[in-house]
Amino acid sequence: MVTGFSTRAIHAGQDPDPTTGSVIVPIHATSTFAQDGVGGTRAGYEYSRSANPTRTALAECLAALESGRHGFVFGSGMSATDTLLRVALRPGEHLLIPHDAYGGTFRLVDKVLAGWGIEYTPVDLADLAATRAALRPTTRMIWCESPTNPLLGIVDIAALAELARDAQLRLVVDNTFASPYLQTPLTLGADVVLHSTTKYVGGHSDVVGGALVTDDDELAERLTFAQNAVGAVPGPFDAWLTLRGVKTLAVRMERHSDNAERVAAALASHPKVTRVLYPGLPEHPGHEAAAKQMRRFGGMVSFQVAAAPGADPATEALRVCASTRLFTLAESLGGVESLIEHPGRMTHASTEGSLLEVPADLIRLSVGIEDADDLVEDLLTALG
């Protein structure tokens, strides 16, 4: 039966427990499973690093939401990234990453995997000619985000997928900012989707996790092997919390999008704000591509504020970040509560001095699902 998004979020992988009838998937807090004779597992489970039923439920649910056949869940978004990159690339091979990649992804590639012989080039992946020009005979993967963190850049995923197919490369999409409710990259031609489920998928800032979804059977087999061999798995309680959060993803994303549209419009007309980065604004360079591939424009808004002439460009941005009352100054994003942060000094500090350095006057908002009037008033008061 073909079902809608919320039906899948609430039911996929989550049949009532066959033993007790428990409507909610139990937290299978066990490291090991009794066997009926050597090699005789009762339901295919033998040890929780290899597989655990609570984790399986979440992986199946996320695969269904991303319209993919194989889902994997990890202890964090970064461990999902690391496992995928080490499975898909060999020393001496090359990948393209966004010129404004998430700072943690950049740090992993630049500080860890580069030491292991993986080569990379940061590129503006919205520019297809520049992307094509950056390919090498050893390039095996294009890694993209859309929208990007923290500059809210948009790439045309279908066009990039076509480019990747022509060049016989894998396209991976970090879909953390959009969530599967707003965008499903596999249906646009991507090979793998990655999530930091810490963000919108979990949705309540109470659990860290990551996920991969793919239709590629051979890659899925290698990921299964690598995840068991390396062990970057979430515990059953973390998988359960994420599964609890994902059930309301559609209603949360609608409200995040409503509120972010209100916030972006209010910021765009404020005299101290020099630029608002939100793909829902018609003047955003990626607006058309975003409107084509996303259901709505999401809850993330970044903006730049002018500092007084001669002052450190970060001064005013840091002052605003310290002045809001409802927007909590904190890293991370995608929870029901609104957060504010200074990427240059916080989430993206690892990009300082690199090609990926973010503007010093940039502020990033994760717009929550509180009342929009209160959020707008908080920001306008902080801006002064």
CB contact at 8 A, 161 and 293: no
The reply to whether 174 belongs to the active site is yes
Q: Measured from the CB of residue 347, what is the shortest distance to ligand PLP in angstroms?
A: 6
Residue 171: both structure tokens together: 């396209």
Nearer to ligand PLP among residue 193 and residue 379 (C-beta): 193
Per DSSP bridges, beta strands 139-145 and 170-174 are parallel
Among 48, 54, 176, 324, binds ligand PLP (CB under 6 A): 176
The reply to whether 49 belongs to the active site is yes
Rounded-to-integer distance, Cα 290 and Cα 296, Å: 8
User: End-to-end CA distance of the chain, in Å?
Assistant: 54
Q: Contacts with ligand PLP in 63-92 (CB under 6 A)?
A: 76-78
Among 45, 102, 240, 327, binds ligand PLP (CB under 6 A): 102
Nearer to ligand PLP among residue 80 and residue 266 (C-beta): 80
Per DSSP bridges, beta strands 139-145 and 94-98 are parallel
> Which of the ranges 54-62, 111-119, 172-180, 244-252 carries the binding residues for ligand PLP, by CB under 6 A?
172-180
CB contact at 8 A, 188 and 144: no
- φ, ψ of residue 100 to 5 degrees: the values are -130, 45
- State yes or no: residue 198 binds ligand PLP (CB under 6 A): yes
The reply to whether 102 belongs to the active site is yes
Rounded-to-integer distance, Cα 195 and Cα 337, Å: 20
Q: Measured from the CB of residue 174, what is the shortest distance to ligand PLP in angstroms?
A: 5
Q: Which residue is nearest to ligand PLP (CB)?
A: 77
CB contact at 8 A, 24 and 61: no
- Look at the block and give the residue holding tokens 């297809």: 128
- Look at the block and give the residue holding tokens 């908080």: 378
Q: Measured from the CB of residue 217, what is the shortest distance to ligand PLP in angstroms?
A: 25
- State yes or no: residue 183 binds ligand PLP (CB under 6 A): no
- State yes or no: residue 330 binds ligand PLP (CB under 6 A): no
CB contact at 8 A, 66 and 187: no
- State yes or no: residue 350 binds ligand PLP (CB under 6 A): no
Catalytic residue, candidates 8, 199, 252, 296: 199
- State yes or no: residue 145 binds ligand PLP (CB under 6 A): yes
With CA atoms as reference, report the closest residue to 256 among 225, 294, 301, 289: 301
- State yes or no: residue 236 binds ligand PLP (CB under 6 A): no
Nearer to ligand PLP among residue 145 and residue 316 (C-beta): 145
- State yes or no: residue 164 binds ligand PLP (CB under 6 A): no
- State yes or no: residue 104 binds ligand PLP (CB under 6 A): yes
Binding mask 205-224 for ligand PLP (x = CB under 6 A): ---x-x--------------
With CA atoms as reference, report the closest residue to 245 among 304, 180, 310, 312: 180
Q: Measured from the CB of residue 278, what is the shortest distance to ligand PLP in angstroms?
A: 16
CB contact at 8 A, 176 and 312: no
With CA atoms as reference, report the closest residue to 263 among 300, 291, 296, 294: 300
Nearer to ligand PLP among residue 235 and residue 266 (C-beta): 235
Catalytic residue, candidates 45, 102, 120, 200: 102
Count Cβ neighbours within 10 Å for each residue of 319-341 and write b for 16 or more, e otherwise.
ebbebbebbeeeeebbbeebbbb
Q: Which residues are catalytic?
A: 49, 102, 174, 199
Residues near ligand PLP (CB under 6 A) are 76-78, 102, 104, 145, 149, 174, 176-177, 196, 198, 208, 210
